[in-house]
């Protein structure tokens, strides 16, 4: 007699159990449900849908959001999201309705609430934060679902402004795609693990100079933040500095400011102080720009200096060839008077940065001019002028450029060098790359938001928030794993099989490919859970371990 065949079901778990575990540890689902609200007879809560969207966003399979049900086919959907949840339930209609709810709740408020809870749970430090923005390009036409001229009744003007749909329009493109419309993402991340704490979706033509201070004020109020705010040169304007009274800040000084142009090259050799950061020199000076006492640091980067000097040499050579060509043309021209010739020479010389005309001579040239009158023909002699001269290199200008090469100026209103040293100012500014890393992550071609598909600005804004939440989950996971590896003095094997205590989560996610959830007659087990993978899960903690059916004893 044959035994009845066992009921076997195999689905992919891969790295998604790690993502789900971090989301659970953040208490994201509960926080979203509290902020957005629950409706009776909902088969999927707003928090569960958001969890599904983040799982999709961090799936790294280039699956666009409208293929949600396809993305979850063959995956451990119910195991990851909740009992009874199927891929078919995660269709585009449900996702669209959820995006509308997130927008109505306020994307910045919702993100901040989630980030605040996560920062407390993961004990994220906020000694300094970094503000930056980037553009996300989209294709197609975008119109607000609010009709033109429609008046929205709101409890207050603040609420009305908050619910105003973003404008997806052409603007300054960081993606070098001026042909495409875009929206802007402003983020504030902490220096502790690059964790994003604040996110704001802006109009595609929003100007950093006009919005950066408002973003910092909003963040300071929401987080009761008293640390150091770090931003790029867009923050450094006289009105912004005045508006930041009461804040501690570090930013870069634009070299378009005349005072900066004067001070960046006028540094005595003995003014440079020793620096522990290899490849950098620092010279401290004071400034009262915008009537605010500041510490300015002229920074010289050796790597940037060498690269800049090379570019200067290239520009000098290129300009010389262009100057020769222009000069050949002007030598052939004939001028009615010396004043005209002189003016042409002056205009040409002023267009050159590294060269000038020398040994200029004006030569008379007689020409015959024929006048024809009725029955009378005569010839008269007239004088025109031609120019000769030679091109001379302005060595003093080139040397001044080389002296300034590789230099930039940082400013801070923290005058006490004991509380924040000059080297710490430079280190904090260098950490501004944390925002840039986050934007590169969001714009990765493998990320689901590489082509935003929804056609309403309100939903695009909600999608932008999900993008930020994916970054939040990813960086929290990476931060936690690296911290635990450092504390225990352990490591995991990287791509070249060497131990490291600073792995990227992208590599960890790749490590977990081909991990499956196997169900045999109702009994679940996880296959391919190698010792290396178990080490990673041990450091990520119980929330992640439970998805791989690893439970601590007792």
3-state secondary structure of 14: coil
> CB–CB of 205/171 below 8 Å?
yes
Task: Give the helix, strand, coil percentages of the chain, each rounded to 5.
Answer: 45, 20, 35
Among all chains, which residue has been given the structure tokens 């007792």?
Answer: 554
Please report the pLDDT score of residue 79 as a whole number: 95
Give me the average pLDDT of each 10-residue run along the chain (554 residues): 65 95 97 91 91 89 58 91 91 88 93 94 91 73 47 39 61 65 83 89 70 81 82 90 90 92 86 84 93 94 89 90 88 86 86 87 76 54 82 88 88 94 92 76 55 70 90 94 95 90 92 93 92 95 95 66
Closest by CA position to 545, among listed 77, 554, 11, 535: 535
Distance from C-alpha of 387 to C-alpha of 364, rounded to nearest angstrom: 9
Separation of first and last alpha carbons in the chain: 43
Model confidence, pTM: 0.79
Starting from the edge strand earliest in sequence, which strands make up the sheet with 280-287, in order? 196-202, 181-190, 128-138, 228-231, 248-252, 407-412, 294-301, 280-287
The CA-atom distances, in angstroms, between 78 and each of 63, 88, 89 are 19, 12, 11
Is 415 exposed, middle or buried (CB count within 10 Å of its CB: 0-12, 13-18, 19+)?
exposed
Residue 203 corresponds to which tokens in the numbers above? 């109009």
Closest by CA position to 132, among listed 214, 254, 232: 232
Please report the pLDDT score of residue 224 as a whole number: 74
Distance from C-alpha of 526 to C-alpha of 524, rounded to nearest angstrom: 7
- Sign of the dihedral defined by the CA atoms of residues 508, 510, 515, 516, in that order: positive
């Amino acid at each position: 007699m044959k035994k009845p065949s066992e009921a076997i079901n195999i689905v992919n778990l891969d790295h998604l159990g790690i993502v789900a575990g971090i989301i659970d540890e953040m208490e994201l689902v509960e926080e979203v449900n509290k902020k957005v609200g629950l409706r009776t007879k909902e088969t999927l809560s707003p928090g569960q849908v958001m969890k599904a969207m983040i799982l999709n966003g961090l799936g790294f399979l280039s699956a666009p959001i409208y293929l949600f049900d396809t993305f979850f086919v063959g995956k451990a959907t119910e195991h990851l999201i909740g009992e009874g949840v199927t891929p078919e339930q995660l269709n585009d209609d449900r996702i669209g309705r959820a995006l509308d709810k997130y927008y109505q709740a306020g994307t910045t408020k919702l993100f901040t609430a989630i980030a605040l809870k996560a920062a407390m749970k993961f004990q994220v430090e906020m000694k300094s934060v970094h503000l930056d923005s980037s553009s996300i390009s989209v294709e197609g036409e975008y119109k607000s679902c609010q009709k033109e001229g429609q008046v929205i009744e709101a409890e207050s003007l603040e609420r009305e402004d908050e619910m105003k749909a973003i404008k997806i329009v052409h603007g300054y493109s960081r993606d070098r795609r001026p042909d495409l419309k875009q929206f802007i993402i402003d983020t504030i991340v902490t220096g502790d693990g690059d964790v994003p704490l604040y996110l704001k979706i802006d109009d595609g033509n929003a100007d950093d100079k006009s919005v950066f201070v408002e973003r910092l004020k909003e963040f300071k109020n929401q987080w009761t933040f008293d640390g150091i705010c770090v931003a790029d040169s867009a923050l450094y304007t006289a009105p912004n500095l005045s508006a930041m009274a009461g804040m501690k800040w570090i930013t870069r000084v634009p070299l378009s400011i005349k005072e900066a142009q004067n001070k960046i090259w006028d540094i005595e050799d003995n003014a440079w102080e020793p620096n522990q950061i290899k490849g950098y020199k620092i010279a401290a000076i004071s400034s009262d720009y915008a009537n605010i006492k500041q510490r300015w640091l002229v920074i010289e980067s050796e790597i940037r200096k060498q690269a800049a000097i090379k570019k200067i040499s290239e520009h000098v050579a290129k300009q010389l060839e262009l100057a020769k060509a222009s000069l050949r043309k002007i030598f052939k021209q004939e001028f009615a008077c010396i004043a005209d010739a002189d003016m042409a020479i002056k205009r040409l010389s002023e267009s050159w940065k590294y060269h000038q005309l020398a040994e200029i001579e004006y030569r008379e040239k007689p020409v015959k001019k024929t006048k024809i009158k009725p029955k009378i023909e005569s010839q008269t002699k007239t004088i025109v002028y031609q120019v000769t001269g030679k091109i001379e290199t302005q060595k003093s200008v080139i040397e001044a450029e080389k002296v300034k090469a590789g230099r930039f100026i940082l400013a801070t209103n923290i005058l006490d060098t004991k509380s924040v040293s000059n080297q710490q100012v430079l280190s904090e500014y260098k950490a501004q790359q944390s925002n840039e890393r986050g934007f590169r992550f969001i714009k990765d071609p493998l990320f689901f938001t590489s082509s935003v598909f929804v056609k309403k600005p309100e939903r695009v804004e909600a999608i932008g928030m999900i993008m930020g939440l994916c970054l939040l989950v990813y960086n929290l996971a990476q931060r936690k794993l690296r911290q635990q590896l450092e504390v225990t003095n352990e490591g995991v094997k990287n791509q070249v099989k060497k131990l490291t205590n600073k792995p990227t989560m992208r590599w960890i996610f790749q490590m977990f490919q081909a991990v499956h959830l196997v169900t045999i007659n109702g009994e679940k087990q996880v296959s391919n859970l190698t010792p290396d993978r178990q080490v990673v899960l041990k450091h990520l903690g119980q929330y992640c371990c439970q998805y791989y059916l690893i439970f601590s004893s007792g």
